[in-house]
Amino acid sequence: MLYIPEASADIENTATWAKYHKQLCQHCDASCCSLPVEVKATDLIRMGLMDEFELEENLKFIARRLMKQRLVEHFHSRSATFILARMANGDCIFLDSHSRRCTMYDKRPDTCRNHPKIGPRSGYCAFSRK
Protein backbone atom coordinates (compact mmCIF):
# COMPACT_ATOMS: atom_id res chain seq x y z
CA MET A 1 0.00 0.00 0.00
CA LEU A 2 1.36 3.40 -0.99
CA TYR A 3 1.49 6.30 1.40
CA ILE A 4 -0.35 9.42 0.19
CA PRO A 5 0.21 12.33 2.60
CA GLU A 6 -2.88 13.87 4.18
CA ALA A 7 -1.35 17.31 4.64
CA SER A 8 -0.11 19.63 1.94
CA ALA A 9 3.48 20.76 1.88
CA ASP A 10 4.56 24.36 2.30
CA ILE A 11 6.07 25.21 -1.09
CA GLU A 12 8.58 27.55 0.60
CA ASN A 13 9.68 25.00 3.24
CA THR A 14 11.34 22.00 1.59
CA ALA A 15 11.43 20.18 4.95
CA THR A 16 7.64 19.70 4.61
CA TRP A 17 7.93 18.09 1.16
CA ALA A 18 6.97 14.42 0.63
CA LYS A 19 9.32 11.69 -0.58
CA TYR A 20 8.42 11.37 -4.26
CA HIS A 21 6.75 8.38 -5.89
CA LYS A 22 4.83 8.40 -9.19
CA GLN A 23 1.40 7.87 -7.64
CA LEU A 24 1.60 11.20 -5.81
CA CYS A 25 1.03 13.00 -9.12
CA GLN A 26 -2.39 11.34 -9.51
CA HIS A 27 -3.59 12.99 -6.28
CA CYS A 28 -1.67 16.27 -6.43
CA ASP A 29 -2.86 19.79 -7.18
CA ALA A 30 0.29 20.54 -9.26
CA SER A 31 2.04 22.52 -6.55
CA CYS A 32 5.38 22.04 -8.34
CA CYS A 33 3.93 24.20 -11.13
CA SER A 34 4.08 27.23 -8.85
CA LEU A 35 7.87 26.96 -8.49
CA PRO A 36 9.95 29.20 -10.78
CA VAL A 37 10.77 27.26 -13.96
CA GLU A 38 14.25 27.78 -15.37
CA VAL A 39 14.57 27.03 -19.07
CA LYS A 40 17.28 27.15 -21.72
CA ALA A 41 16.94 28.22 -25.35
CA THR A 42 16.60 24.57 -26.41
CA ASP A 43 13.54 24.28 -24.15
CA LEU A 44 12.05 27.42 -25.69
CA ILE A 45 12.55 25.95 -29.16
CA ARG A 46 10.82 22.69 -28.15
CA MET A 47 8.00 24.72 -26.60
CA GLY A 48 7.54 26.68 -29.84
CA LEU A 49 8.38 30.02 -28.22
CA MET A 50 11.57 30.50 -30.20
CA ASP A 51 12.90 29.30 -33.57
CA GLU A 52 16.19 27.47 -34.02
CA PHE A 53 17.60 30.16 -36.28
CA GLU A 54 17.25 32.62 -33.38
CA LEU A 55 20.12 30.83 -31.59
CA GLU A 56 22.42 32.92 -33.79
CA GLU A 57 21.02 36.11 -32.23
CA ASN A 58 21.92 37.62 -28.89
CA LEU A 59 19.71 35.90 -26.32
CA LYS A 60 19.10 39.25 -24.58
CA PHE A 61 17.02 40.31 -27.60
CA ILE A 62 15.06 37.06 -27.47
CA ALA A 63 14.52 37.59 -23.75
CA ARG A 64 13.19 41.12 -24.32
CA ARG A 65 10.73 39.85 -26.93
CA LEU A 66 9.52 37.03 -24.68
CA MET A 67 9.19 39.40 -21.71
CA LYS A 68 7.08 41.77 -23.82
CA GLN A 69 4.88 38.80 -24.74
CA ARG A 70 4.72 37.91 -21.02
CA LEU A 71 6.11 34.43 -21.63
CA VAL A 72 9.31 34.98 -19.67
CA GLU A 73 9.70 36.98 -16.48
CA HIS A 74 13.49 37.07 -16.19
CA PHE A 75 16.70 36.29 -18.09
CA HIS A 76 20.09 35.46 -16.53
CA SER A 77 22.65 36.38 -19.18
CA ARG A 78 25.61 34.64 -17.47
CA SER A 79 23.91 31.25 -17.45
CA ALA A 80 21.72 31.93 -20.52
CA THR A 81 18.75 30.84 -18.42
CA PHE A 82 15.22 32.17 -18.75
CA ILE A 83 12.53 32.04 -16.03
CA LEU A 84 9.08 31.28 -17.41
CA ALA A 85 6.37 33.78 -16.56
CA ARG A 86 3.81 32.98 -13.89
CA MET A 87 0.23 34.01 -13.35
CA ALA A 88 -0.73 36.40 -10.54
CA ASN A 89 -1.30 33.43 -8.19
CA GLY A 90 2.24 32.14 -8.86
CA ASP A 91 1.26 29.26 -11.15
CA CYS A 92 3.15 28.64 -14.39
CA ILE A 93 1.42 30.30 -17.34
CA PHE A 94 1.14 26.89 -19.01
CA LEU A 95 -0.82 25.31 -16.15
CA ASP A 96 -4.55 24.98 -16.83
CA SER A 97 -6.23 26.56 -13.79
CA HIS A 98 -9.25 24.24 -13.93
CA SER A 99 -7.73 20.82 -14.61
CA ARG A 100 -4.42 21.68 -12.87
CA ARG A 101 -2.59 19.93 -15.74
CA CYS A 102 0.17 21.22 -18.01
CA THR A 103 -1.12 22.56 -21.32
CA MET A 104 2.14 21.69 -23.07
CA TYR A 105 3.08 18.47 -21.30
CA ASP A 106 4.62 16.83 -24.41
CA LYS A 107 6.74 19.94 -25.05
CA ARG A 108 7.51 20.78 -21.40
CA PRO A 109 10.99 22.05 -20.49
CA ASP A 110 13.75 19.81 -19.12
CA THR A 111 13.31 21.31 -15.65
CA CYS A 112 9.77 19.93 -15.53
CA ARG A 113 10.75 16.65 -17.19
CA ASN A 114 13.40 16.04 -14.54
CA HIS A 115 11.39 17.13 -11.50
CA PRO A 116 11.77 16.00 -8.75
CA LYS A 117 15.08 14.30 -9.60
CA ILE A 118 16.49 17.80 -9.71
CA GLY A 119 15.22 20.88 -7.96
CA PRO A 120 15.16 22.50 -4.55
CA ARG A 121 15.06 19.13 -2.74
CA SER A 122 16.09 16.22 -4.93
CA GLY A 123 13.80 13.20 -4.62
CA TYR A 124 11.04 15.14 -2.83
CA CYS A 125 8.06 17.12 -4.07
CA ALA A 126 5.79 19.81 -2.67
CA PHE A 127 2.77 17.50 -2.67
CA SER A 128 -0.56 19.30 -2.34
CA ARG A 129 -3.73 17.17 -2.21
CA LYS A 130 -6.45 17.88 -4.80
What is the pLDDT at residue 2? 63
* 109, amino acid identity: P
| pLDDT tens per residue across all 130 residues of the chain | 566 667 788 888 888 888 888 888 888 888 888 889 999 999 999 999 999 999 999 999 999 999 999 999 999 999 999 999 999 999 999 999 999 999 999 999 999 999 888 888 888 888 887 7
What is the pLDDT at residue 27? 81
Contacts of 85 (CB under 8 A, 6+ apart): 70, 71, 72, 73, 93
Query: Is the backbone peptide bond immediately before 36 cis, with ω within 30 degrees of 0?
Result: no
